[in-house]
Amino acid sequence: MPHPYAPNFTVITNWKAKGFACSKVCSYCNWRQSPLLPHGLQSNEAILSFIRQCTKSFITISGGGDPLYRLEENFPALRHLCDLIHGEGFRVRIITREVGQLHRLTGLADYVSLSLDADVLRWGTGKLENWETGILETAQEPNFHRGAGNLEFWETGKLASYEGPDLEFSLVLPPLPMPDLLRLKPQYAALRQQLGTRLVLRENFNSIFPFDPEAMSFGHKGIVVVPKSVCLNSRYLATIDCTGHEIVQDHAPLASYLMNHSSVYLFGGFVKHIIAPAVHLDYADIDVIAIDADVIEKLGSTYGYRFTEQSNKGDYPRYFQGKSTKAGKPIQLLLMNSHEDARNFIFNAQYDIDRVGYHQGLIIDPLMNLQEIKKAITLKQARLLNGPRQLDLFHPQRMRIEQKHKAKLLAKGFTIAA
C-alpha cells in the first residue's frame, strides 16, 4: 500500500519544439516563460526512471502546454507516453482543457481532469459600498455565469453521452483573501450541482493571501479542495526530475519577503492588487525598488530569480529585469541609493493612483489622501496630475513608458480624468 501522503508524480508535456503548446492564455499560468519547460517528449529513459520511483497507482500527464494540444499532430507522442506508463503497471491521469478531444482518450487514459475556465464564475456588479477595505463586500454575491467557457459545451448536452475515462472538473481558485473566497462557495456548490460530477478546487500559486483549506472545504467528496502544498510536494518530470518546490513559484512567501523588507519599496500593479485584489485580480509582474543589492542576491538564492541589467554603465538608478527559474511572475527591479529617492520616484508618477507604494505598509504621496486613492484604485478612476514633477530619477524613455502605461490603464477599464 502506498503511503497516504506519498507524492503524486506528473510528467509535464509541451509538444512544441519551440514555443508553448497551449491554445489558452490563463491569467494565472506562468509556465510559458519557465526555463524548465520541456520541448517535445522526454526520453524513454528519463520517463521510465522517473515513474519507477512513484508509489501511487497512477501517473499524471499535465501541462506546461496542454497534453491534448493539436492532438491530430501530437497523438503519437501522447500515446507513446501513455503506453510507457501503462507498461509499468500504472494508471494514466490526464489534465487538460481541450474538452473537444475527450472522446479520443478512451483506451488511452484512465482518469481525466478537465480544467474549467475561470469565467464560469462571474463577479457581480453590486455597489462598491465597502471600498475602504479594498474588498468589494457586496460585489460578489453568488452569480453563476451559465454558458461561459467550457460549460457552454456541457450545456449543449454533448457531455451527457460521454462514455470515456473517469472524469472530474477542476478550477483554480482566484488569488483572493479568504473572506472573498468564502463568499464564492455558493457558486462552487451550484457549479458542482450542474456538472454532476466531482469538482476539484485548487489553491492559486499567484495568491499572496493566507489560505484556509478547512474553511474552504464542503464536507463531502463532491468538491475537493487541493492546497498548493500538495503540488509543491509532488514530483514532476519537466526538463529535469524535480519537486514542485523547485519548479513552481509560491508567490505568498515571495510577497511576504518583499512586503516586510526594510529596503524594499513596491509600486505599480502589484500594489493595486494588494489594495483591491477583487478588482485588480491579477498582476502581470512585480515592480520593486531595492535600496540594498542584497535583495537581488536573496531573490536569486531563495526564489530562483536571475536578473539581467537593462541600464548602461554609470546610469542611476540601475534597472534590472528578473525572471524566475520557477514558473513565476517577472520582477522589474530598480536599485537606488536612498529611501528618499525611492519615495521621490513613486510620488512623482503621472497619475494619482500610482503615487502609492508599499514599504512595510502602504505609503502615499504626502499631498494625497490614502483613502481617496484606495477608492480611486477600486473604482478604476485615474486622475492626471498637472503640477510640476521631479523627473530626474526616471528612465530617459519615461515619456514613452508613460504613454504605454496610459494605454494599459485604458485597456484595463480605467477612466482617466485630466
Based on the shown chain and the rule CB under 6 A, indicate whether residue 103 belongs to the binding site for ligand SF4.
no
Strand partners, 226: 202
Based on the shown chain and the rule CB under 6 A, indicate whether residue 202 belongs to the binding site for ligand SF4.
no
Measured from the CB of residue 323, what is the shortest distance to ligand SF4 in angstroms? Answer: 17
Size of interface with ligand SF4, in residues (CB under 6 A): 10
Q: CB nearer to ligand SF4: give 148 or 379.
A: 148
Q: Could you tell me if 39 and 17 are in contact, meaning their C-beta atoms sit under 8 angstroms apart?
A: yes
Q: CB nearer to ligand SF4: give 22 or 363.
A: 22
Q: CB nearer to ligand SF4: give 29 or 139.
A: 29
Q: CB nearer to ligand SF4: give 62 or 348.
A: 62
Q: Could you tell me if 93 and 109 are in contact, meaning their C-beta atoms sit under 8 angstroms apart?
A: yes
Based on the shown chain and the rule CB under 6 A, indicate whether residue 201 belongs to the binding site for ligand SF4.
no
> Residues 6 or more apart from 363 whose CB is under 8 A from it?
265, 343, 346, 356, 357
Residue 211 CB neighbour total at 10 angstroms:
20
DSSP 66-108: -TTTTHHHHHHHHHHHHHHHHHTT-EEEEEES-GGGGGGGTTT
Measured from the CB of residue 117, what is the shortest distance to ligand SF4 in angstroms? Answer: 9
Q: CB nearer to ligand SF4: give 24 or 79.
A: 24
Query: What distances in angstroms separate CA 306 from CA 149, 297, 320, 396, one per listed residue?
Result: 36, 9, 10, 24
Measured from the CB of residue 269, what is the shortest distance to ligand SF4 in angstroms? Answer: 20
Residue with grid cell 453568488, as numbered in its chain:
142
Q: Which residue type does 147 have?
A: G
Give CA–CA dist 142/121, Å, rounded. Answer: 9
Give CA–CA dist 299/109, Å, rounded. Answer: 40
Measured from the CB of residue 25, what is the shortest distance to ligand SF4 in angstroms? Answer: 6
Based on the shown chain and the rule CB under 6 A, indicate whether residue 97 belongs to the binding site for ligand SF4.
yes
Q: CB nearer to ligand SF4: give 68 or 335.
A: 68
Measured from the CB of residue 158, what is the shortest distance to ligand SF4 in angstroms? Answer: 20
Give CA–CA dist 327/247, Å, rounded. Answer: 6
Report strand pairing: 381-383 vs 415-417.
Answer: parallel
Measured from the CB of residue 396, what is the shortest distance to ligand SF4 in angstroms? Answer: 35
Closest by CA to 331, choosing from 363, 301, 297, 307, is: 307
Q: CB nearer to ligand SF4: give 206 or 378.
A: 206
Interface residue with ligand SF4, options 9, 66, 101, 255 (CB under 6 A): 66
Based on the shown chain and the rule CB under 6 A, indicate whether residue 100 belongs to the binding site for ligand SF4.
no
Measured from the CB of residue 64, what is the shortest distance to ligand SF4 in angstroms? Answer: 6
> Residues 6 or more apart from 252 whose CB is under 8 A from it?
207, 208, 209, 210
Q: Which stretch binds ligand SF4 (CB under 6 A): 35-43, 63-71, 159-167, 400-408?
A: 63-71
Query: What distances in angstroms separate CA 26 from CA 95, 116, 174, 231, one per listed residue?
Result: 15, 10, 11, 18
Measured from the CB of residue 294, what is the shortest distance to ligand SF4 in angstroms? Answer: 33
Q: CB nearer to ligand SF4: give 70 or 380.
A: 70
- Report angle CA 346, 347, 350 to the nearest 5 degrees: 90
Q: CB nearer to ligand SF4: give 63 or 174.
A: 63
* 13-32 binders of ligand SF4 (CB under 6 A): 22, 24-26, 29, 31
Q: Could you tell me if 244 and 263 are in contact, meaning their C-beta atoms sit under 8 angstroms apart?
A: no
* 244-303 binders of ligand SF4 (CB under 6 A): none
Based on the shown chain and the rule CB under 6 A, indicate whether residue 63 belongs to the binding site for ligand SF4.
yes
Measured from the CB of residue 28, what is the shortest distance to ligand SF4 in angstroms? Answer: 7
Q: CB nearer to ligand SF4: give 25 or 418.
A: 25
Binding site for ligand SF4 (CB under 6 A): 22, 24-26, 29, 31, 63, 65-66, 97
